[in-house]
Amino acid sequence: MHQTKQGQSGTKGQVKGGEAAAIKQESPDLLAQAAAAYQSAQTARAQPNEILTLQRTSGNQAVQRLLAKEKPPAKSIQRDDSQSNKRVKETGVDASMFTLTGGDIKAPGKVTAKKDGATNVSVSAPPVTFEANVALASDVSLGSGEPVMTGPVQTLMGSTRTGVYREGGQPNGKIVTEKNISVGTVRDAQTSSDGTVAPNVVAPWYSAAVSINDTTPSTPVNFFDQPSIEMPQTMGKGVLTETRGKDSFTTSVGVKRNGQLVHLKSMTWEAPWDVSMNNFQGEGGTVPIGEAKSPPPVTDGPIAAQAMVSWLGFPTLEAAQGASTVQLLQNLAVTRGRDPVSHQNIAEALKTRSITANLVVDSTDALIGKDTITLYVQGQKMVNKGQFTLNDGESVSVTVGFQEIFDDMGSIDMSRIEFQATTKGKVKWYSHPFPFTGKGGELSEGSEGGKYRVECALS
């Protein structure tokens, strides 16, 4: 055992005689191959056959050193500074956050009038449009904040629409009446067929708004409007010969966030309604367009269709005298502040009008025989219309001129007509409300007794 250990110790790291001789013979070639393999490793990646040669000639450690040199460097992580360099706006909104292209209103064509069915006339403006694109500025990020909504915003600054009706439909004939429609300054919006705001439209937008965010930083914003008027072809003895007036608008491209609305661009335009007609057809003017000095002022509340006021106008006393009593009364109050000339003519024409009352006794107060009834009628003042003796089922008719019971015709819309019947000291009455178009009613107020009623008709 001891000899064996010595033998192993003596031969450790040594080469046997035959192997040594072989190395001596091959060493020039092997050294050349090793040098070539090393040189290749310095200039390019070593190929598999070169690595094997290097292993045979120089050992495993040389191969490991070579492979360590060939190990590709770790890839560095590149930081994306595209977001870090942006202004992060997580709340609020201002014009500097956006870029706007387009937004100029166009309205080629003219206002036209044409028949609409057998009884109406339609007067229409040409289509009014704009095309725009709203985008986040290149240096802006909304971060984790709410998105921005964008869309068209429009205020109707005012509207006056008048249809003129003349005798015989002659361009210079006598004016029988004028049909007027007026609206003040209100929010405007697209509507459904019933005149209410379209279901996908909420204030302040004229039409459905769209959103902008970091994922979708740009969006088109389009606008379309085409105002029109519907007028009857005839009113009484009058025939529609022309329309007058105009609609005025301020329209913008808006952005909104967190309850804050900003207008990126505002413009004005009008629909002019001055059109003369021949057989209910005609052509008017073009649509004036301009830059707005200020943005749309009203962006919430009722829209035009919900705020409009209409009335019949009478530019002359003769025109008012040609109207029915019902027409005069229905248009008295509405013309007071809007159409003073018509209001005055209506008040003057009412001086010749009256109301007829038929007093009916359904059952008498007396157990036997007739009731003796005194009838009083009161407006702004009271008048005694006489004493009548009536039995069950009997009636009497009286006519009351407006001038008998009203001192101021221009304010009778603030009054009632009261019918009072007295018999044997008992008083019963009925109040007939303005505009006095009802059929009448029972004299149910006051004392117990007989049952009386009045049947009313304007004349």
For residue 35, name the pLDDT band (cuts at 50, 70, 90): low
The pLDDT confidence band at residue 70, using thresholds 50, 70 and 90, is low
Please indicate, yes or no, whether residues 51 and 133 belong to a single structural domain of this protein: no
Give yes or no: residues 361 and 339 share one domain.
Answer: no
Q: How many other CB atoms sit within 10 Å of the CB of residue 457?
A: 17
**Residues in the chain, overall count:** 459
Mean pLDDT of 116-143: 97
200 and 293 in a single domain? The answer is: yes
Which of 291, 323, 351 corresponds to the end of one domain?
Answer: 351
CA distance 235 to 179: 9
Same domain, 150 and 274: yes
**In terms of residue numbers, what domain contains 325?**
314-351
Query: Are residues 425 and 395 part of one domain?
Result: yes
- For residue 316 the two structure tokens come to 């002359």
- Which is it for strands 354-363 and 371-378: parallel, antiparallel or unpaired? unpaired
For residue 54, tell me if it sits in a domain.
yes
Q: Does 268 share its domain with 127? A: yes
By percentage, how much of the chain surpasses pLDDT 90?
Answer: 76
pLDDT in tens, 338-382: 999 999 999 999 999 999 999 999 999 998 889 999 999 999 999
The answer as to whether 255 is a domain residue is yes
Q: Is residue 15 part of a domain?
A: no
Q: What is the pLDDT of residues 268-290, one digit of tens each?
A: 999 999 999 999 999 999 999 99
- Predicted local distance difference test score (pLDDT) of residue 305: 86
Q: At what angle do helices 48-58 and 60-70 cross, to 10 degrees?
A: 140
81 located within any domain? no
- Is residue 50 domain-shared with residue 151, that is, in the same domain? no
Place of tokens 């088109």: 220
Pairwise pLDDT comparison (392 vs 50), residue with the higher score? 392
- Judge whether 403 and 412 are in contact, CB under 8 Å: no
288-293 mean pLDDT: 98
Q: Say what the pTM is.
A: 0.75
Number of structural domains the chain divides into: 4
Give the range among 54-63, 71-80, 209-218 with minimum mean pLDDT: 71-80
Report the phi/psi class of residue 32: left, alpha or beta, with left for phi > 0 and alpha for psi in -120 to 50: alpha
Tell me: do 50 and 130 sit in the same domain.
no
pLDDT, the chain, mean: 87
Same domain, yes or no: 119 and 248: yes
Residue 159 lies in a domain: yes
Does residue 75 lie within any of the structural domains? no
- Residues 276 and 388 reside in one and the same domain: no
* 185 in a structural domain: yes
Q: Are residues 194 and 261 in the same domain?
A: yes
- 146 and 192 within one domain: yes
CATH number at residue 403: 2.60.40
Phi and psi torsions of 279, nearest 5°: 55, 40
Q: Is the pLDDT of residue 16 over 50?
A: no
pLDDT digits (tens, 9 = 90+) for 328-344: 999 999 999 999 999 99
Query: Does residue 79 lie within any of the structural domains?
Result: no
Say if residue 190's pLDDT is above 80. yes
